[in-house]
Amino acid sequence: MTKTLLIYGAGAIGRGYLPWVFSPVEYDYYYVETNDNLRNLLNKNKKFTTFKVINQEYKDMEVPVKYCYHLNEEKKKISEAEAIITAVGPRNILSITENLKNITTPVICCENDSSIPELMISITNNPNVVFAIPDVITSNIAPPELRGRDPLSIVTEEGICYIDHKVARLGGNCVYVHKDELKKQWLAKLYLHNTPHCIAAYLGSILFVTYLHESMQNKRAEKIVTGAMHEMEGVLLKKFHLENDFVEWYANKELQRFRNTLLYDPINRVAREPFRKLAPNERLIGAAQLCISCGIIPENIMLGITAAFCYDNLNDPDANIKYLIESLKPHDFLKIAMQLHPGEALYELLLDRWDSNLNELRGLKE
Amino acid sequence: MNREQVLKVAMYAAVEAGNLLLEHSNDFLKASPKESLRDIVTEVDKCAEEKIIEILKDYNPYSTILTEESGTISGKNEKNHWIIDALDGTVNYVNHIPFYAVSIAFIEDNSPVVGVVYNPMSSDLYYGAEGIGIYKNHTKIKSKDRIAEECLFAVAFSGKKYEPATRSEEFLMFEKVNDSTRGCLRTGSAAMNLSYLAEGRFGGCWGKANKIWDVAAGILLAKLSGATVEYRYVSKEKNLVSCIATVPSAWNFIKEKIKLW
């Protein structure tokens, strides 16, 4: 008898990656999705295809969809679910917590923010909320030839999903780990994946390319991304004392991923919400601060930060970054938009390199 | 004019003027009374105003600008114009109370369509425009709807010389709201009151016979944040406006207690 899996978010991770972890043979797939077009299409087609890139080739899987609910329509299904998975993005998590209050069903948070499970436990009173790290890049859109086969096609790469061992009974094609290993994997993902990944995207945005691998095909951009990776490797070794071999292996693995021409990782997905990525403890400003605290001058990360300042996408929730960067003088921008202040090392460094970094970014295309 | 451009110019001008206010905030400031002891002007007010005018004129030399200290600076287009207050909350400013702001609005067809309020002490930049949205610094903001009993309110009283005979009524209205809600503050800056409403801090605010330059930007920000706003000129000649703005759930409660017209 199949079990019920309720997934909040039918995007890149929810649709593209999770079926490879929790087999649709074993689980009936139910989604909760607020995007009307996507929800209607899933309910109309009752299936979609996810492609996994293995050794530079696609392997496909057709995933039957029992139903895709609009938010709040799923309430009755919650009690039937064997497990609930969230992949909605950190900014949207609060919109779903109300419906998950006072249940004991395991909830796996596949969110790119390690503080989410604790937040959810406190709001929902459910002690079985755990963190998971899908160590993959998953594109929310497939290349045209795959979409021709199925308009709901989605592409993911092969990668391990690390999940807190507290819910190990759920099984699946994943690795259940204890807190320390989860923390190590998170640190690596946060700084060796997230930081250079979004820098590659912001550089790609400046280059006006669509996909991440196209950004990495630009020699200057690739040099900046690789440089940022090395800066973060230094932090993981000096500050968090991770093993050298692990750090080096992880960094090389990530750079290979960013260059993967089959993933079609859209720039506007990775670069979205620049202010969230520029928050004080996040992957750009937070990463640069960590470098400084370890005695590393984060020259390449600062180029990435400056590229993020220049992100220009009027459809992005943080589109106002354009108004701020274009209207304010650099020192006012850093103070008002970034909450950085005179005397702080990063403020002074960014200000000192403001013009040269902008010039370097402008020269990417030459 | 391109609204996005107008917004950016207003943001730039507000922050530049704010920097000037901040730079001189510890100077010995000679405050000259205008209409009352509460209505004062300093040299810094004037310098900051000149700075804003310079920036707005630099952007478009033909702009019409209604100002607090220099009156109306006529341009080619009277219908679409700027309304600026380089320092709303001068009494707070001279007393080093960190609740004052630069306020800049752009008006089209008699309604504010771009509004910027900047408090340089806290580096809080509120900005918004019709068709664009409303933000504080990097964050999108909206007012926080709740019933009046759960709201904190703020008031901006009229000038002492405005209808002295009915002045006591304003204090009665203040008392009614203050005693039946989380309270009511007299903050000294109508622009900041409206901005705090837009951000979800205050549940509402009102002002009787306020100067239009104190409230023009804030009125737009409050509207864009989802608050209910009503305002009327009580004297077009003197640029006096009365205004009530609250979160939707507090509107009826406040309208029943506050009679401004």
Q: Return the structure tokens found at A109.
A: 């948070």
Total number of domains in chain B: 2
Residues of chain A with CATH 3.40.50.720: 3-177
CA–CA separation, A296 and A233 (whole Å): 11
Q: What is the pLDDT of residue A56?
A: 84
CB-CB under 8 Å, A320 with B140:
yes
Q: What is the pLDDT of residues A200-254, one digit of tens each?
A: 999 999 999 999 999 999 999 999 999 999 999 999 999 999 999 999 999 999 9
CA–CA separation, B197 and B145 (whole Å): 10
Q: What is the pLDDT of residues A50-77, one digit of tens each?
A: 999 998 889 999 999 999 999 999 999 9
B64 φ/ψ angles, rounded to the nearest 5 degrees = -95, 135
Q: What is the pLDDT of residue A55?
A: 85
For residue B172, give the CATH number of its domain: 3.40.190.80
DSSP string computed for A94-155: HHHHGGGTT--S-EEE--S-TTHHHHHHHHH--TTEEEEEE-S-EESS--HHHHHH-TT-EE
State the Cα torsion A113-A118-A123-A125 to the nearest 10°. 140
Longest CA–CA separation in chain A, Å: 64
CB-CB under 8 Å, A336 with B15:
yes
- Residues B136 and B152 both lie in one domain: no
- Residues B156 and B90 both lie in one domain: no
Q: Which of A111-115, A325-329, A356-360 has the lowest mean pLDDT?
A: A111-115
Burial pattern A332-351, b for ≥16 Cβ within 10 A else e, equals: bbbbbbbbbeeeeebbebbe
CA–CA separation, B28 and B23 (whole Å): 12
Domain termination residue (choose one: B140, B173, B201): B140
DSSP code of residue B116: E
- A175, A160 in Cβ contact below 8 A? yes
Grouping H, G, I as helix, E, B as strand and the rest as coil, residue B259 is: coil
CA–CA separation, A341 and A324 (whole Å): 16
Range of the domain at B248: 148-257
Mutate to test the interface with B, among A315, A321, A334, A336 (most CBs of B within 10 A): A336
Q: Which pLDDT band holds residue B34 (cuts at 50, 70, 90)?
A: low
Domain termination residue (choose one: B86, B108, B140): B140
Q: Return the structure tokens found at A94.
A: 């609060």
- Residue B133 near chain A (CB below 8 Å): yes
User: Which pTM does this prediction carry?
Assistant: 0.85
- Residues B55 and B125 both lie in one domain: yes
Domain A182-365 indexed as CATH 1.10.1040.10: yes
ipTM of the complex: 0.91
CB-CB under 8 Å, A323 with B4:
yes
Q: Percent of chain A at pLDDT above 90?
A: 88
Residues of chain A with CATH 1.10.1040.10: 182-365
How distant, in Å, are the alpha carbons of A169, A247, A284, B238 from that of A234? 37, 9, 15, 65
Mutate to test the interface with A, among B6, B137, B139, B142 (most CBs of A within 10 A): B137
Identify the closest residue of chain A to B120 by CA–CA distance: A336
- Residues B19 and B128 both lie in one domain: yes
- Residues B95 and B37 both lie in one domain: yes
Q: What is the pLDDT of residues B153-197, one digit of tens each?
A: 999 987 766 677 777 888 999 999 999 999 999 999 999 999 999
For residue B43, give the CATH number of its domain: 3.30.540.10
- A283, A190 in Cβ contact below 8 A? yes
Q: What is the pLDDT of residues B120-131, one digit of tens each?
A: 999 999 999 999
- Residues B8 and B98 both lie in one domain: yes
- Residues B153 and B73 both lie in one domain: no
The DSSP H or E segment spanning A53 is: strand A47-54
- Residues B96 and B162 both lie in one domain: no
- Residues B158 and B244 both lie in one domain: yes
Domain termination residue (choose one: B94, B118, B140): B140
Burial pattern A192-203, b for ≥16 Cβ within 10 A else e, equals: bbbbbbbbbbbb
Superfamily assignment of A3-177 in CATH? NAD(P)-binding Rossmann-like Domain (3.40.50.720)
A window 233-292, beta carbon within 8 A of B:
275, 278
Q: Does the pLDDT at position A1 exceed 90?
A: no
Q: Give the mean pLDDT of chain A.
A: 95
B190 closest CA partner among B96, B89, B46, B42: B89
DSSP code of residue A91: G
CB-CB under 8 Å, B8 with A326:
yes
DSSP code of residue B109: T
- Residues B166 and B62 both lie in one domain: no
- B205, B245 in Cβ contact below 8 A? yes
CB-CB under 8 Å, A335 with B11:
no
